[in-house]
Structure 1
C-alpha cells in the first residue's frame, strides 16, 4: 500500500512540478512586464515634471473677421472666460489681445479683437490662449530699463520699472513654462502705489542661463536666482522688498522667504495661484490626465531619490518635503497674501487653503471662483487690484 502511494505520488510529481514551474514563469514574466511598464511610466512622468515646457496649442481659430475685428475660437474652459486675454498665434501675427465674449455656443466662442488685425492677415488654426495680456514691457507705456542680475548660473535678464521714492520694490517671479512677460499685468498696479517693479527671469526658463542639467528643480534651486535679484534691489536702494510669485513662482517665493540671507529686507509675499505643496499638484495633474496612481506614486518617489537622478535627469534629488510649505508653516515669518481660484484647473487651491488655516496670523487669502489658473487679473481686474492695494496699504507698504 505504501509503495503504491509512493508510486502514485512519484508518477504525478513531474507533471505537477512542470505545471508549477510554468505558472511561476508566466507570473514572473507578467510581473516583470508590469513592473517595467510602471517604471517606464513613472520615469516619463518625472521627466515631464522637471523638463521646461513648451507652449502648446490648446484652442483653434475657427473664424477671423477683420472687418468687424472679431475672432472665433473653439470652446474651452479658458476661451469662454469673461475678461481680457491674449492669444499666441502663428502666421502674420504671433500674439493678439482679446476682449470680451460677444457670442458663444456649445463648441465655439466669438471674442472682440483688441489688437488690430489687417485684412490681409493670415493666422494658422492652432493657437494658445493666454492670461498674459501684455507680452512686451513697451505696451505698459511706463519707463523701464533692461537689467542683468548676476546669479550663480550667469546673468539673468530683468526689467526694472522705477516708481515712487525707490524705498519699496516688488520682485515679480513668473511660473513654470512661461517667461517674465507673464508678470507684466501687475506692474501698473504697483506703479500706481509708488512701488518699483523688478520683473525677473531664472535658470532654465528660456531667457536666463541654463543650468548644467537644464531641468527645473521646482523651486529648490531657482530661489537662488531670485535671491540674487533681492541683493540687486538692495544695492539699488530698496529698503523693503515684496516678492510676488505666480504659480511655480509662488513655490520659488516661498523658498526664498524660508532660505534667503536677505530675509530681513523682505516685507511680504503676494502669491497668485501658487504651488504650496508639489505633491498635491502632481497628484491632481495625474488624476486629470488619467495616470494610474501607482505610476504617480513611483514618479514622486523617483523625483526625491538620488539613485533615480540619472533617469529623471534632475542632477540631484528634489526634496518635496522641503517644498511642502504647509508642513513648514511654523517656519514662516513674512506676511502673505494668497490670490487663488477654487476653479483653478491646474494648481488646485487645497494647499493654499491649508496654509491659510495653518497660519491665519500671517496669511490672508482672497478666494476667487471661475477665474482659472493665473487668470484672476483677467477675470476680475477690479477685485484683484483692490485686494493687493488694500493688503499693501494695511501694512504701510504703499503710498497713501
Structure 2
C-alpha cells in the first residue's frame, strides 16, 4: 500500500488550489520508496481558459534512465499541466527513488502508488501518460488494475503474480486509470531489431553494462532475469477497454519501428486511437510542445 513519508499529508484532501509543487515519498505494495511530485492545476498564464478543473490528474511515467526531475519530464509536466493537475515520479532505481529497475516489470507497482496518491489528493479522474518503458508500464497497469470487476473475463497471458495483483486491484477504487496514453511504447519484450535496443540489452544484461547504467545514467538495474516473464504490452493493450487508450509513435523512432504501435492498436481494436507522428523520434525527449498539447486536449476530451 502506498503511503506518504513523514506524515507530510495528514489527510486525503490536500487543498487543490495550492500553487506550489508538493513532494512526497510513496511506498509501493512491495515496500519500495518512490519519490513523487504533485503540481496542482491552476488556470492562469498558459492554461486553456475554457478548460476548468474537473478533478482530473495526469500521472506521467518516464522512460528508462529518466526521472521526475529530468528536463524532458519537467517540460511534459509543464505542458500537460495546462489541462490538469500533474503527478510525476521516478521509477524504482531511478532518480531519488529506492530499489532497482526491473525495466518494466515491477514498475507497475510504482505507477499504482502514484495513481493511488493522486486519488488520495482528491482527484476523481486519473489519466496515465507513459513514455517508452513508461508506455509499456501504463499499458500493463491499465490491464492489471481495471476500473471495473473482471470476474469471469478472459485473462490469458497473465502470470500467477499478475493474476493476484489484478484480483486485489479489482476490489479497489483508487488504483485504476480512467484513460491511458502510451507514447513510443514497445509491443513485445526482448526486441533487439535496432542498434539502440541492442545497446540497451547490453546495459541491462551485462555486469559492465549495469555499471554504465549506474554511473553513466544514474540508473540502478536489477541483475536478475524476469521470472516469470510479465504480461506483454501487446497482450495488455487488449485488456484495457472500456478505458480509452491512445497510442502515439514517431515514424523516426530509432528504438521501435512502426510495427510496434500497429500491433498495439490492432490488439486493442476499437478501444484505441493510434497517432503516427511524422518526423518524431523517441519518447519524452522527442515529444514537442505541439504534440504534448494535443495529448492534453485528448485527455481533456475523454
Per-residue CA distance 1:267-303 (angstroms, 9 max, x = gap): 1111221123223x334348866x9xxx9xx99xxxx
CA distance in 2, matches of 1:242, 1:259: 15
User: 2:262: which partner in 1?
Assistant: 353
User: 1:327: which partner in 2?
Assistant: 235
Task: After TM superposition, give the deviation of residue 352 of structure 1 in Å.
Answer: 1.0
Maintained 8 Å contact 1:158/1:200: yes
Per-residue CA distance 1:242-270 (angstroms, 9 max, x = gap): 01111101111111111122587421111
CA distance in 2, matches of 1:316, 1:328: 17
Identify if the C-alpha distance between structure 1 residues 231 and 342 changes in structure 2 by more than 3 Å, giving closer, same or farther: same
Q: Does 1:143 align with 2:20?
A: yes
| Structure 2 unaligned regions, length at least 5 | 1-18, 43-52, 146-168, 207-221
User: 1:153: which partner in 2?
Assistant: 31
User: 1:277: which partner in 2?
Assistant: 188
CA distance in 1, matches of 2:197, 2:104: 23
Aligned Cα root-mean-square deviation (Å): 2.9
Greater relative contact order (CA < 8 Å, ≥ 6 in sequence): 2
TM-score, normalised by the number of residues in structure 2: 0.66
Q: Secondary structure at the match of 2:261?
A: helix
Q: Does 1:391 align with 2:298?
A: yes
Q: Does 1:184 align with 2:184?
A: no
Maintained 8 Å contact 1:185/1:377: no
Maintained 8 Å contact 1:277/1:326: yes
Q: Secondary structure at the match of 2:235?
A: coil
Identify if the C-alpha distance between structure 1 residues 283 and 228 changes in structure 2 by more than 3 Å, giving closer, same or farther: same
Higher strand share: 1
Instruction: Say how many residue pairs are matched.
Output: 225
User: 1:175: which partner in 2?
Assistant: 63
Q: Secondary structure at the match of 2:248?
A: strand
* One of 222, 227, 234 as aligned partner of 2:107: 222
| Structure 1 unaligned regions, length at least 5 | 1-141, 300-311, 396-400
Give the greater-gyration-radius structure (CA).
1
Task: After TM superposition, give the deviation of residue 332 of structure 1 in Å.
Answer: 2.1
Task: After TM superposition, give the deviation of residue 371 of structure 1 in Å.
Answer: 2.0
CA distance in 2, matches of 1:221, 1:155: 13
CA distance in 1, matches of 2:57, 2:196: 37
Maintained 8 Å contact 1:189/1:385: yes
Q: Secondary structure at the match of 2:111?
A: helix
Maintained 8 Å contact 1:273/1:340: yes
Per-residue CA distance 1:98-143 (angstroms, 9 max, x = gap): xxxxxxxxxxxxxxxxxxxxxxxxxxxxxxxxxxxxxxxxxxxx73
* One of 87, 99, 102 as aligned partner of 1:198: 87
CA distance in 2, matches of 1:318, 1:348: 26
TM-score, normalised by the number of residues in structure 1: 0.51
